[in-house]
Amino acid sequence: MRRLLFFLIACMLLVSGCQKQHEENLKLRSQPELHFHVAALTGPLTLNPVLVRDSASAEVAALLHTTLLVTDPQTLTPLPRLITSWEYDREKLTYLFTLHPEAVWSDGTPITAEDVAFTMRVLSHPDYTGLLYLPLRYVLGAEEYKAGHTSELADGDIAGIRVIDEKTLSVTLKEPYAPFLSLLTFAPLPASHLSAVKVRDLEGHEFSLERPVTSGPYLLAEWNRDEYVHVRANPAYFLGKPALDNLYYRFIPNAETQLIELLAGKLDLVPTAVKVEDVAALRANPELKVYTNPRLVYDYIAINSKKADSPVGDKRVRSALAMLLDRKEVVDNILLGFADPLYGPLLPLHFAYDPALEKDNVDLAEARRLLVEAGCPQAELRLIFNAGNLVRENVALLFKEQAAKVGLDIRVSLLEWEAFLAAINEGDFDLAILGRGVEADPDLSYHWHSDGPGNTYGYSNEQVDALLEEAAALESAEERTRLYREAQRLIVEDVPAIFLYVRQAVHAATAELSGFIPHPENLFYNVHEWGLAGEGDK
């Protein structure tokens, strides 16, 4: 027994000894190189930037690929990236895009206008199953291409897309559409490698799974399926070789373990998964730095006004419901301040946001009066939300408590994710706490136009429809702002939903990290500018 124990201990010492030596070797060899470790909860499913459906794939795609345009992290307005400049011909509804002259694929060939045109054909192809068709809907001929293209390849032509020369592309819209540029945040595909691939085969193609030809700040070195993606700085990146030579995107499914690894110095950046309860402790640590930024996702209480014989069909009842919660209190007490209260359908980041809406009119007496007036002083309402979200659970309980004060009986039911989705889809609820992602452009049509694809609960206001249609066709930000503010006011008045808050993303990183600008949509927005202050000892 004792001999065995001794043997085990000896083995362990030997192993750790070897390891030390190994580490030293590694260190020696890699002295001049910088290594940077980023945590992720899961690994990517695809490396193909146009087939991304999950956040991990999106983040890895952002490392490997480069988008046509990016949005400004502060104002969400479009900024040049692969497209370095553009001209807009109002008469012809045509954009003339110029690509970066030095932009090259990882195989050394230049990124051309044909690549971009090809990518747009892929997105419009009837067999394309990704999420990026949205911007193409406004391109002349794209709808016809989607409906009528018979080849399985993304060949042929879309009427509105024309390659002028190697680095110049013109895109003609079918109608004026101001948000168009803000939607060009997708990355192109290399036409020379993929033009002979059937669009339906793209998901399983080696380009998507093993050997991508890329254009981004980093090149794929190794994808260890369940552990990490290792990428190396792209020396030919057209915005300059990134300073961090090696970046490891490591999948650590447990948020607690991520933090421990960060504290132990084995991770350099824990994005998004940081819990607000931990922030105080992390801020106190001189070796770490905490970053926050608002996200493009907000939480709201959906009101199912379509549901037959539900009192929430009555606008007075909805108004009364909107008077119950003090959003500032919710943000301060439940989210510890790591959120912004939300009063309308646009976020404070949007240029057309209306600060005038920012007031909580908690008025229980008025709410009571409205309920009585609506003839349902004692209604019973079903409020659903998904299990596992503590913040939403607390909001639900607070809401129930407040509603009880005005005589409403809120039946709170916590549902497992699938059951929750089913209840949402079947309309089996009066109220539901949900999250919703919004676009960078303030265009509200997707959710609030009568015909909007995301208009799930049948909101319809002709005035709003007219305002949104008019605003989308305008170029001037001032004029659009005016119209969107009017639309916001109308929507808030109609109370189709109770807006709650926009949560902040909280990131924790080593204090040595420099140049990191948290972006609401894209963690690696400016990864090529990141550096490590204490260079050399990593």
Partner 1 sequence: MRKILRRLTQTAAVLFGVSVVTFLTMHLAPGHPLQANPELRLDPTAVERWLKLRHLDEPLPAQYVAWLSRVLRGDFGESLLYNRPVLELIGERLPSTLLLTLTSFVIALLLAVAAGTYAARHRGSTFDRAVDLLSLGGISLPGFWLGIILILLFSYRYPVFPAVGMRTPGDGSLPDILQHMFLPLCVMVFGGFAHYVRHVRGAVLAVLGQDYVRAARSRGLTDRQILFLHVLPNAALPIVTIAALSLPMLFTGAMVAEQVFGWPGLGRFIVTSLLARDYPVIMTVNMYTGTLVAAANLLADLLYLLIDPRLRAEI
Catalog residues that contact partner 1 under the rule CB under 8 A.
1, 12, 15-16, 18-19, 22, 26, 37, 42, 45-46, 53-54, 126-131, 133-134, 146, 200, 203-204, 208-209, 222, 224-228, 230, 246, 248, 250-254, 256-257, 260-261, 263-264, 266, 297, 417-419, 421-422, 424-425, 434-437, 446, 453-454
Nearer to partner 1, 425 or 476 (CB): 425
Strand duo 409-415 + 380-386: pairing: parallel
| Widest CA span in the chain | 89
Q: How far is the CB of 504 from partner 1 (least distance, A)?
A: 17
419 vs 474 by CB, closer to partner 1:
419
- For residue 466, what are the contacts with CB-CB under 8 A and spacing of at least 6? none
329 vs 416 by CB, closer to partner 1: 416
Exposure string over 373-387, b if 16+ CB within 10 A, otherwise e: ebebeebebbbbbbe
User: Would you say 37 or 392 has its CB closer to partner 1?
Assistant: 37
Q: Kindly state the smallest distance separating residue 509's Cβ from partner 1, in Å.
A: 17
**238 or 429: whose CB is closer to partner 1?**
429
Rounded to a whole number of angstroms, the minimum distance from the CB of residue 238 to partner 1 is 27
Q: Which DSSP state fits 300?
A: E
Query: What is the DSSP secondary structure assignment for residue 528, as one 8-state letter?
Result: G
Measured between alpha carbons, how far is 210 from 277 in angstroms, rounded to an integer?
A: 39
Length of the chain in terms of residues written: 538
- Cβ closer to partner 1: 126 or 515? 126
- From the CB of 52, what's the least distance to partner 1, in Å? 10
Rank residues 258 and 488 by Cβ distance to partner 1 and give the closer one.
258
Toward partner 1, which CB reaches closer, 375 or 388?
Answer: 388
| Cα–Cα distance measured from residue 92 to residue 95, given in angstroms and rounded to the nearest whole number | 9
Structure tokens of 266? Answer: 């084995």
Q: How far is the CB of 268 from partner 1 (least distance, A)?
A: 12
Residue 288 and residue 509 in contact, taking contact as beta carbons nearer than 8 Å: yes
From the list 435, 389, 385, 431, the residue with the least C-alpha distance to 410 is 431
Q: DSSP of 440-492, one letter per residue?
A: SS---HHHHSTT-TT-TT----HHHHHHHHHHHT---HHHHHHHHHHHHHHHH
Least distance CB 476 / partner 1 (angstroms): 27
Nearer Cβ to partner 1, position 251 or 351?
A: 251
Of 403, 376, 400, nearest to 316 by C-alpha is: 376
Least distance (Å) between residue 396 CB and partner 1: 18
CA–CA dist 72, 45 (Å, integer): 27
Give min distance, CB of 37 to partner 1, in A.
Answer: 8
Residue type, 234: N
Q: Which residue has the tokens 């001189």?
A: 286
Contact 468, 443 (CB under 8 A): yes
35-40 and 161-165 beta bridge pairing? unpaired
Q: What is the DSSP letter of 278?
A: G
By three-state DSSP, how is residue 160 classified?
Answer: coil
CA dihedral 506, 511, 513, 517 (to 10 degrees): 40
Give min distance, CB of 375 to partner 1, in A.
34
Minimal distance, residue 146 CB to partner 1, in Å:
8
Contacts of 409 (CB under 8 A, 6+ apart): 378, 379, 380, 381, 403
Contact 270, 37 (CB under 8 A): no
Residue 522 CB, shortest distance to partner 1, in Å, is 16
Per the CB < 8 A criterion, the answer to whether 61 and 75 are in contact is no
- Closest contact distance (angstroms) between CB of 226 and partner 1 is 3
- To the nearest whole angstrom, how small is the minimum distance from the Cβ of residue 484 to partner 1? 20
- Integer Cα distance of 495 and 161 in angstroms: 41
Is the CB of 1 or the CB of 308 nearer to partner 1? Answer: 1
Residue placing its CB nearer to partner 1 in the complex, 240 or 253: 253
Which residues on neighbouring strands pair with residue 232, listed in sequence order?
Answer: 219, 246
Q: Which of 135/311 has CB closer to partner 1?
A: 135
Please identify, using beta-carbon distances, which residue of 74 and 257 lies nearer to partner 1.
257
Residue whose CB is less far from partner 1, 32 or 355 = 32
Residue found by looking up tokens 């030390």 in the block: 20
Which among 177, 108, 161, 40 has a CA at the least distance from the CA of 523? Answer: 40
Q: How far apart are CA 391 and CA 339, in angstroms?
A: 11
- Closest distance of CB 266 from partner 1, Å: 7
